[in-house]
Amino acid sequence: MNIPFSPPYINDDIINEVVDSLRSGWITTGPKVKALEAEIKNYSGAQEVLCVNSWTSGAIMMLRWLGLKEGDEVIVPAYTYSATALAVYHAGGTPVMVDTTEDFNISVKGIKKAITSRTKAILPVDIAGFPCDYDEIMNLVKSKEILDLFQPTSEIQAKLGRILVMNDAAHSLGATYANGIKTGSETDVAVFSLHAVKNVTTAEGGAICLNLPEPFDNEVLYTELRQMSLNCQTKDAFSKSKAGGWRYDITGFGMKINMADINAAMGLAQMRIYPQLLNERKRVFNAYDDALNEEPWAIVPPAFVNGKESSYHLYALRIKDISEEQRDLIIDEIAKTGVAVNVHFIPMPMLTFFKEKGFKIEDYPQAYNNYKCEISLPIYPQLTQEQIDYIINAVKSAYKTVIG
| DSSP-derived secondary structure letter, 235 | S
**Catalytic residue among 32, 41, 120, 198, which?**
198
Task: Give the CATH number of the domain where residue 152 resides.
Answer: 3.40.640.10
Residue 329 forms part of a structural domain: yes
Q: What is the pLDDT of residues 96-135, one digit of tens each?
A: 999 999 999 999 999 999 999 999 999 999 999 999 999 9
Q: Is the pLDDT reported for residue 240 higher than 70?
A: no
Type of residue numbered 15: I
- Is 198 among the residues known to form the active site? yes
pLDDT score of 243: 65
Q: Are residues 249 and 282 in the same domain?
A: no
Q: Are residues 199 and 316 in the same domain?
A: no
Q: Are residues 51 and 68 in the same domain?
A: yes
Q: Is the pLDDT reported for residue 365 higher than 80?
A: yes
Q: Are residues 177 and 294 in the same domain?
A: no
Listed residue (339, 324, 400, 357) closest to 2, CA to CA: 339
How much is the average pLDDT of 124-153?
97
Strand partners, 168: 125, 191
pLDDT score of 236: 74
Residue 5 forms part of a structural domain: no
Residue 370 forms part of a structural domain: yes
Strand partners, 3: 339
Q: How far is CA 184 from CA 109, 157, 245, 271, in A?
A: 23, 21, 35, 15
Non-local CB neighbours of 87 within 8 Å, separated by 6+ positions:
56, 59, 60, 63, 123
φ and ψ at residue 256, rounded to 5 degrees:
-115, 85
Residue 18 forms part of a structural domain: yes
Q: Are residues 118 and 162 in the same domain?
A: yes
pLDDT score of 246: 79
Q: Are residues 286 and 258 in the same domain?
A: no
Residue 1 forms part of a structural domain: no
Q: Where does a domain end: 237, 265, 293?
A: 265
Handedness of CA 171, 185, 281, 11 (dihedral sign): negative
* Band of pLDDT at residue 237, cut at 50, 70 and 90: low
Helices 218-228 + 55-66 axis angle, to 10: 110
Domain total in the chain:
2
Q: Are residues 357 and 383 in the same domain?
A: yes
Residue 7 forms part of a structural domain: no
Burial (0-12, 13-18, 19+ Cβ within 10 Å), 247? exposed
Q: What is the pLDDT of residues 320-335, one digit of tens each?
A: 999 999 999 999 999 9
Domain with 41, as residue range(s), is 12-265
Q: Are residues 261 and 348 in the same domain?
A: no
Q: Where does a domain end: 206, 234, 265?
A: 265
Q: What is the pLDDT of residues 163-185, one digit of tens each?
A: 999 999 999 999 999 878 999 99
φ and ψ at residue 281, rounded to 5 degrees:
-65, -40
Residue 225 forms part of a structural domain: yes
Q: Are residues 197 and 339 in the same domain?
A: no
Residue 115 forms part of a structural domain: yes
pLDDT score of 180: 85
Q: Are residues 388 and 362 in the same domain?
A: yes
Q: Where does a domain end: 242, 265, 288?
A: 265
Among 27-36, 100-109, 246-255, which stretch is predicted with the lowest mean pLDDT?
246-255
Q: Are residues 188 and 325 in the same domain?
A: no
* Band of pLDDT at residue 159, cut at 50, 70 and 90: very high
Task: Give the CATH number of the domain where residue 391 resides.
Answer: 3.90.1150.10
Task: List the beta strands (DSSP E) in 113-245.
Answer: 119-122, 164-168, 189-193, 206-210
Q: Are residues 188 and 331 in the same domain?
A: no
Give dist(CA 345, CA 342) in Å, integer: 9
Q: Is the pLDDT reported for residue 42 higher than 70?
A: yes
